[in-house]
Structure 1
């Protein structure tokens, strides 16, 4: 029997499955790592089940057994052909054909599409036509980390459902069970890196992110002391996910802004407290805002899978960061 995604989604699940009628299209959103895909898959199982019980798929009917075997003819999963690539129009044409078919099991048909923001322009336009002409007993479940990147017309034709992030205590409790070898300090560090999303914290643990971050922090300190060059660091960070590096710089920048405005007295990124405290006193407010604009623009480009030259981008990022102390 598929579980309700995670305990922090119980309320949303109960509200959703308790409805007499369901929308033909849902848009599940939330932070990366809060369990959106698992929630959507569990909801797909519920919609396909012929004898749901207590708001859950039964796990025993023919429909459930076919789904668990990965052979359910009325369930379609649409994802990029390769991780990080776009969902192309051919995949949406397959979706359109699927929607037009009669259910082979005589019940509902369900499509799960993830990540929805990965659709290119042609694919998004093709999907829009299907949303304008919904098929009876066919449900489309879109899952996204970035709903703002979807066409407004797609968002408006779906029932939006944001999935919440758990409380810190709930997330730490789940992490303690999921990754028992982690000590309490590392759980806190990983959860902070993940913005409070426990599944992302678990994924960061799999990347050995605590060790990677320790090295990056030491590298940044060396950069500011002229002990290492930007090009040297860019080369040495070749195996660290770019999104992770950008997230760290965004978090440090937010701390700088809070320190300058007096919102906090010590950096929330405790491993950079001394560095950020010094920078907050020596970086001009205007320069800091310009740096933040530059960083967020490039973060958006990275999330949008722009074809950046990784080495040149990292070198530019490090030079811009270092120049903050010289632009006052």
Structure 2
């Protein structure tokens, strides 16, 4: 096993490191939490190293030591300046200036940009020329969790490399090594919430997602029993990441529709919401469920697109509609 490479990335790493000639731009894509950033950083070290081997960078040459110290002059990292914000055109213009310069150590220049889909339109357009005609010996490493949101012209100028997902057994084993204090059931729930992405599961655990999930599920049940109002819950949920909330409500609406159509009790999702899913499937009109699903998907897209939203008003609107699901057409 190559140190620094996750077990499920081994064959991909061999292909990348074994190329006789490296491409000028790679788009490493796949779901969040499967180790794309770790792979990209390992690849960047390999590309900049003065004495690389099949396993990666040597760790001892001048380039490796400068990179480890964060002072390598031929390395450029581009990411949002604030969490959940866009990569701005000014940042990409700095990248373009970096690419046009001569490598100071006489080797490659490497750019790592993540997440590529967070570039606004002006930033993406500014990047196109560097992707089309990179100056000198430059390699651009773009990481994307949602490649469908990228401009086709960005994707067509890169070698598109899907990053592998681990199998369930590998994910369970990897997570068990890192979270031995959790029960097997808790680790399984984390993986389900993370879409079987083990690094995302580890990150979610760090955010206290199991506790957050319990809070949200309890709130939904109290809402339907009219024990708490939409405005009370909207205020209480203000610290909860919007992406988490909309992911869960989109999933629950899908499960309700699915159960209403099929009656399949094996497809009710996690145990904490199964009775709610069954109840709403029995009590909600299909047209209202479909309208709810359309609204949720539209709002989720705004959240993912970093739109400037009023959190409390958005959550209150969500909860008012959710509370109105059971009832006549």
TM over 0.5, shorter chain: yes
Alignment of 1:107-122 (within 5 A): 107-122=107-122
In the alignment, the residues of structure 2 paired with residue 3 and residue 143 of structure 1 have an alpha-carbon distance, to the nearest angstrom, of 21
1:287–1:196: structure 2 CA closer, same or farther, 3 Å change rule? same
2:140 is paired with a residue whose SS is: strand
Asked whether the equivalents of residues 252 and 269 of structure 1 are also in contact (C-alpha less than 8 Å), the reply is no
Number of aligned residue pairs: give it. 327
CA–CA distance in structure 1, aligned partners of residues 83 and 196 of structure 2: 24
- 1:1-328 equivalences in 2 (<5 Å): 3-262=3-262, 264-266=264-266, 267-328=268-329
State the distance in 2 between where 1:5 and 1:14 align.
10
5+ unaligned residues in a row in structure 1: which ranges? none
Question: Is contact 1:287-1:327 (8 Å) kept?
Answer: no
Structure 2: distance between partners of 1:96 and 1:271: 50
Deviations 1:82-121 (A, max 9, x none): 2222211221111111111111111111000111111122
CA distance in 2, matches of 1:210, 1:172: 17
Deviation for aligned residue 1:316: 0.7
Gaps of 5+ in 2: none
1:233-276 per-residue CA deviation (whole Å, 9 max, x = no partner) reads: 10111111111111111221222122123273141221111111
For the Cα contact (< 8 Å) 1:27–1:158, is it kept in 2? yes
CA contact (8 A) 2:17 2:54 kept: no
Q: Against the structure 1 CA distance between its residues 70 and 327, is the aligned structure 2 distance closer, same or farther, given a 3 Å change threshold?
A: farther
Cα distance change, pair 287–37 in 1 and its aligned pair in 2 (3 A): same
Per-residue CA distance 1:2-21 (angstroms, 9 max, x = gap): 94431111121111211111
Corresponding residue SS for 1:324: coil
CA contact (8 A) 1:78 1:113 kept: yes
TM-score, normalised with respect to structure 2: 0.95
- Give the TM-score, by structure 1 length: 0.96
Contact in 1 for aligned 2:100/2:136 (Cα 8 Å): no
Helix, strand or coil for the counterpart of 2:325?
Answer: helix
1:12 and 1:259 map into 2 onto residues whose CA distance is 39
- The answer (yes or no) to whether the contact 2:285–2:327 under 8 Å persists in 1 is no
**Distance in 2 (alpha carbons) for counterparts of 1:283 and 1:165:** 36
**Equivalent pair of 1:79/1:113 in contact (CA under 8 Å):** yes
State the distance in 2 between where 1:297 and 1:3 align.
42
- Conservation of the 8 A alpha-carbon contact between 2:259 and 2:265: yes
For 1:286 and 1:162, how far apart are their aligned partners in 2? 37
Superposed CA RMSD in Å reads 1.5
TM-fit CA distance, 1:327: 4.8
For 1:18 and 1:31, how far apart are their aligned partners in 2? 25
Residues 102 and 143 of structure 1: CA distance in aligned 2, closer, same or farther (over 3 Å): same
